[in-house]
Amino acid sequence: MTAAPAQGRAPKLPPAYRLVPRDEVESTNIEAKRLAAEGAEDGTLVWARRQTAGYGRQGRGWDSAEGNLFLSLIARPDCTLAEAAQLSFIAALALGDAVGSVAPPMIEVTYKWPNDVLFNGRKGAGILLESKGDAAGAVDWLVVGIGANVTSFPTQARYPATSLHFEGCPTSLTSVDLLEAFGRHFLSWINRWLDDGFEPVRRTWLNHAHGLEEEIEVRLPSESLTGRFQDLDPGGALLLQLPDGRQRSIAAGEVYFPAGG
């Protein structure tokens, strides 16, 4: 039996999860990494109502006001670290399906490579994967951190942001509702991935990809590239067609849409 944090109802998750609920933590990812290093099992899910030092990709801060969803899930898939990076797409699809199942149809969910979830074209959720492998490159543990804007969003973000409530969802919709739906959909997507590989995930993600076939800018640590977002390769890398017709495969970077949005 898991205790609920001080306020609100306790989330109900399928038995595959072991919920670790907290009122306040520095960061659910920090907490989950600590538990993973101590041997916490696959399916351990740290959920907090507030974070005091939430962080995102490239060490940026993540606004962590109460009301939004903050969770970090420990996974121990039997695969390489490179394959395990596909869990960020799985998490994105699960969050997208969760929004689809708890929010009215006015919210259009799209995916921004590599791991953002957009609500009506603005960033509504971000995903941060952290992992530890062994010497052979196999996964020891993976932490899938997700922050989703339910009630509020940052107005000073690098990329325009929004929240479910701002987009018109009823204010009765809470982070607990979204967490429960996410738990169900993540299980279903990870089982699909374990059974059928990345291809069904890739296809579904591409069907709702933001900016596919459009001109995009991809910022890498040492350069910035502009080209047409052509496809995802079979492993999840972004395929960019450069102005001279060559194709470039990009494993990590930040995407911007010059046309705005």
Q: How far apart are CA 231 and CA 33, in angstroms?
A: 33
Shortest distance (Å) from residue 123 CB to ligand BTN: 7
Per-residue string for binding with ligand BTN, 20-59, x by CB under 6 A? -------xxx---------------------x--xxxx--
Q: How far apart are CA 82 and CA 37, in angstroms?
A: 20
Which positions from 118 through 157 interact with ligand BTN, judged by CB under 6 A? 126-128, 145-147
Cβ of 28: how many Cβ atoms within 10 Å?
26
CB closest to ligand BTN, residue no = 126
Which positions from 164 through 203 interact with ligand BTN, judged by CB under 6 A? none
Q: Which is nearer to ligand BTN, 116 or 231 (CB)?
A: 116
In three-state form (DSSP H/G/I as H, E/B as E, the rest C), the secondary structure along 2-31 is: CCCCCCCCCCCCCCCCEEEEEEEECCHHHH
Q: Which is nearer to ligand BTN, 29 or 151 (CB)?
A: 29
Q: Which is nearer to ligand BTN, 208 or 228 (CB)?
A: 208
Shortest distance (Å) from residue 247 CB to ligand BTN: 27
Q: Which is nearer to ligand BTN, 11 or 54 (CB)?
A: 54
Shortest distance (Å) from residue 135 CB to ligand BTN: 27
Amino acid letter for position 162: T
Tokens of 37: 């290093």
Shortest distance (Å) from residue 146 CB to ligand BTN: 6
Residue 14: is the preceding peptide bond cis (ω within 30°)? no
| Sheet containing 18-25, strands listed edge to edge, beginning at the edge strand earlier in sequence | 18-25, 44-51, 69-75, 139-148, 122-133, 116-119, 109-112
Q: Which is nearer to ligand BTN, 27 or 175 (CB)?
A: 27
Tokens of 103: 């929010």
Give the interface with ligand BTN as residue ranges (CB under 6 A): 27-29, 51, 54-57, 60, 62, 70-72, 116, 126-128, 145-147
